[in-house]
């Protein structure tokens, strides 16, 4: 199925061959998709993928095919647990990846780290503040940054 999905993605990316008419020509630069192998942060990949989908103006079906095509290694193996009729459903694929690679299981760990974080001997306030800010964003990832 990987070859089929890859072929579909190539067809979606291929421009249609119409005679060039300056009045009808509109070219939107295509932002190429990324790859996810399960070894890097799912949250970071998902953020980048969301930006790419928005920039490219993809609908949910195209998002699903692009997401499937971007998976490698252990991340691609997640697809085996998804029924074939759901492989074109972006939300189903994203939820399966979130369950396997998401950071939600670390939330309690980060909250505990945040509660117990103290300034270390010789540590500057800037370093402490940066680490507290990092722990805040990890411990409360569901909250908007401007809260």
Nearest-angstrom CA–CA distance, 48 and 121: 37
- pLDDT of amino acid 114: 94
Nearest to 66 by CA among 8, 15, 14: 8
CB atoms within 10 A of CB 57: 9
Which tokens hold the place of 68?
Answer: 């499937």
Please determine, for residue 36, whether its predicted confidence score (pLDDT) is greater than 90. Answer: yes
Please determine, for residue 31, whether its predicted confidence score (pLDDT) is greater than 80. Answer: no
Please determine, for residue 29, whether its predicted confidence score (pLDDT) is greater than 70. Answer: no
> 117 and 93, same structural domain?
no
DSSP state of 72: -
Q: Give me the domain span that covers residue 83.
A: 42-101
Q: What does pTM read for this prediction?
A: 0.57
Please determine, for residue 16, whether its predicted confidence score (pLDDT) is greater than 60. Answer: no
The residue among 21 and 32 whose pLDDT is bigger is 32
- pLDDT of amino acid 43: 85
> 94 and 59, same structural domain?
yes
CB atoms within 10 A of CB 60: 12
Residue 59 lies inside a defined structural domain of this protein? yes
> 108 and 93, same structural domain?
no
- Picking from 4-8, 39-43, 80-84, 118-122, which range would have the lowest pLDDT averaged per residue? 4-8
The residue among 81 and 25 whose pLDDT is bigger is 81
> 96 and 50, same structural domain?
yes
- Helix or strand (DSSP H, E) at 7: helix 2-13
Residue 15 lies inside a defined structural domain of this protein? no
Q: What percent of the chain has pLDDT over 70?
A: 75
How deeply is 15 buried, as exposed, middle or buried, from its count of CB atoms within 10 A (0-12, 13-18, 19+)?
exposed
> 71 and 57, same structural domain?
yes
Residue 37 lies inside a defined structural domain of this protein? no
Q: Based on the structure, what is the number of domains in the chain? A: 2
- pLDDT of amino acid 67: 95
> 126 and 81, same structural domain?
no
> 124 and 80, same structural domain?
no
Nearest-angstrom CA–CA distance, 46 and 102: 10
> 46 and 67, same structural domain?
yes
DSSP state of 70: H
Nearest to 34 by CA among 9, 10, 67: 67
């Amino acid at each position: 199925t990987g070859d089929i999905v890859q072929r579909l993605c190539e067809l979606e990316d291929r421009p249609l061959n119409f005679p060039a008419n300056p009045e009808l020509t509109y070219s939107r630069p295509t932002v190429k998709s990324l790859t996810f192998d399960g070894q890097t942060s799912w949250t970071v990949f998902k953020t980048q993928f969301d930006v790419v989908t928005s920039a490219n103006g993809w609908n949910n079906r195209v998002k699903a095919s692009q997401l499937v095509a971007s998976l490698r290694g252990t991340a691609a193996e997640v697809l085996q647990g998804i029924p074939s009729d759901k492989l074109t459903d972006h939300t189903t694929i994203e939820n399966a990846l979130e369950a396997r690679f998401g950071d939600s299981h670390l939330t309690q760990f980060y909250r505990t780290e945040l509660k117990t974080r103290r300034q270390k001997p010789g540590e500057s306030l800037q370093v402490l503040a940066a680490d507290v800010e990092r722990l805040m964003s990890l411990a409360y990832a569901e909250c908007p940054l401007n809260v």
